[in-house]
């Protein structure tokens, strides 16, 4: 028995792992974050109630939609008047399970009928329990549901054995007046053996004899104390589930607030991390610039130390003659830049003079017009010189590159000769 149970558990684990890991059109409509919980609940259900087995089947909604869902099908044990019965049920795990409760149905066989009326089972077999109405995710589970079903059905069984009609009585044989008829009837009876009447059994194939239909026992009255006790228990359960539902809603509200605060904190953490990375990048860039400035400062200080002794012998130095352009284009470029900057200074001085009222406004306009025309000429010349210098640099780079290629080819040629 233990080996069979272990083999059944292993088969159930393989089956659930296979159907819950499917992808594509054949995948079950459950979200990825709850598939592990569904698998664990079904395994616990099979271990606790081996008569229930999980499988997949097509479920049809009231609007006609069909969907492939998991179900637990089998029998639930219940005790009625100290006798155990097995009630056939089907528990469907809907698309929103386990956040929403499953759908439980009583599945009577051909020799069973559903009790009408029943406080927890409608004529179609749908079960309605306070445990299902007050389903709490993720604490509610299938094992507790089946346990509640067993207790509820034990207090009021939902199924009864169908009363089969009694076989009709045998037709009486009338004795004819003459002996020939008696002999003929006797010979006929001896030639054809009598067919025994069919025996209709009320034993249920689901274990034990189900309770008879209540319509034949209307004279039986229940104990008032038992009715009061059952009603009191139902009332206490209803109040308990209502309190649990209220607590669940309060906790869900608190959890939503905490999740919102967590989202805001994570967003701020991302912003702070981004700002910190930017500051670190800027710090590295500034450190590189600082190293460059320090290196240039060292170069300038070394140059000053080397040339400081030369200034005493030269005497008075004209600052305009210290730096000389390397070519005519550079000299012309320097002159145009100096003229442009001097005109800019003159325009600035004229602006201050006209604001202070030192010169008339018409003279200011004439001077600005003349200086602007001259500044435009210098700037246009500077642009042309810059373009010419760029072309010259490109030509020099191309010539230098061709010279380097020729030198490389000569070296390769000499190396090939020596080899």
Range of lowest pLDDT (7-11, 44-48, 207-211, 252-256) = 207-211
pLDDT for position 105: 93
pLDDT at residue 275 greater than cutoff 90? yes
pLDDT for position 329: 85
Q: Does domain 2-164+203-214 have CATH number 3.40.50.1980?
A: no
End-to-end CA distance of the chain: 89
pLDDT at residue 376 greater than cutoff 90? yes
What tens digit of pLDDT does each residue of 304-355 get? 888 777 666 666 666 666 677 778 888 888 889 999 999 999 999 999 998 9
What tens digit of pLDDT does each residue of 52-81 get? 999 999 998 888 889 999 999 999 998 888
Delimit the domains of the chain by residue range.
2-164+203-214, 328-418
pLDDT at residue 180 greater than cutoff 50? no
What tens digit of pLDDT does each residue of 78-101 get? 888 888 889 999 999 999 998 999
Any bridge partners for residue 209, and if so which?
203
pLDDT at residue 173 greater than cutoff 70? no
Distance, CA of 236 to CA of 164 (rounded, Å): 40
Instruction: Please give the mean pLDDT across all residues of the chain.
Output: 80
C-beta separation of 300 from 294 below 8 A: no
Closest of 340, 361, 339 to residue 350, by C-alpha: 361
Model-level pTM?
A: 0.43
Rounded-to-10 torsion of CA 210, 8, 24, 35: 80
Residues of the chain with pLDDT > 90, as a percent, come to 29
pLDDT at residue 211 greater than cutoff 70? no
Token couple for 325 = 């352009």
What tens digit of pLDDT does each residue of 112-131 get? 888 888 888 988 889 999 99
Span 170-175, average pLDDT: 41
| Burial bucket for residue 183 (CB in 10 Å: 0-12, 13-18, 19+) | exposed
b/e sequence 115-150, b meaning 16+ C-beta within 10 Å: beebebbeeebebebbbbebbbbeebbbeebbebbb
pLDDT for position 313: 61
């Amino acid at each position: 028995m233990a080996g069979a149970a272990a083999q059944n558990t292993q088969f159930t684990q393989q089956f659930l792992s296979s159907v819950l890991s499917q992808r594509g059109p054949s995948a079950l409509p459950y979200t990825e974050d709850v598939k592990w919980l569904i698998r664990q609940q079904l395994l616990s259900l099979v271990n606790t109630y081996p008569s229930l087995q999980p499988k997949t089947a097509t479920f049809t909604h009231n609007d006609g939609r069909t969907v492939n869902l998991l179900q637990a099908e089998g029998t639930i044990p219940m005790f009625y008047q100290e006798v155990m019965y097995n009630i056939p049920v089907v528990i469907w795990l809907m698309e929103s399970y386990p956040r929403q409760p499953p759908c439980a149905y009583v599945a009577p066989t051909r020799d069973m009928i559903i009790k009408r009326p029943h406080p927890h089972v409608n004529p179609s077999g749908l079960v309605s329990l306070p445990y299902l109405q007050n389903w709490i995710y993720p604490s509610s589970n299938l094992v507790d549901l089946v346990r509640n079903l067993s207790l509820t059905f034990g207090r009021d069984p939902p199924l009864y054995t169908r009363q089969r009609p009694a076989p009709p009585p045998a037709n009486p044989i009338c004795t004819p007046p003459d002996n020939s008829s008696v002999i003929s009837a006797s010979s006929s009876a001896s030639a054809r053996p009598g067919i025994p009447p069919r025996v209709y059994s009320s034993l249920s194939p689901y274990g034990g004899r189900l309770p008879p239909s209540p319509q034949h026992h209307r004279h039986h009255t229940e104990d008032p104390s038992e009715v009061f006790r059952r009603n009191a228990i139902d009332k206490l359960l209803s109040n308990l589930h209502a309190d649990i539902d209220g607590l669940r809603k309060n906790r869900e509200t608190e959890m939503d607030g905490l999740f919102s605060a967590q989202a805001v904190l994570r967003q701020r953490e991302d912003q702070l991390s981004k700002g910190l990375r930017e500051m670190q990048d800027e710090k590295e860039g500034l450190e590189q610039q600082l190293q460059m400035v320090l290196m240039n400062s060292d170069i300038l200080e070394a140059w000053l130390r080397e040339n400081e002794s030369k200034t005493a012998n030269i005497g008075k130095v004209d600052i305009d003659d210290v730096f000389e352009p390397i070519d005519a284009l550079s000299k012309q470029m320097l002159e145009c830049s100096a003229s442009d900057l001097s005109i800019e200074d003159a325009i600035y001085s004229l602006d201050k003079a006209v604001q202070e009222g030192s010169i008339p406004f018409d003279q200011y306009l004439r001077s600005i017009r003349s200086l602007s025309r001259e500044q435009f000429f210098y700037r246009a010349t500077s642009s042309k010189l810059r373009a010419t210098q760029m072309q010259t640099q490109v030509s020099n780079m191309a010539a230098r590159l061709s010279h380097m290629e020729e030198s490389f080819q000569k070296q390769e040629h000499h190396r090939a000769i020596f080899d």
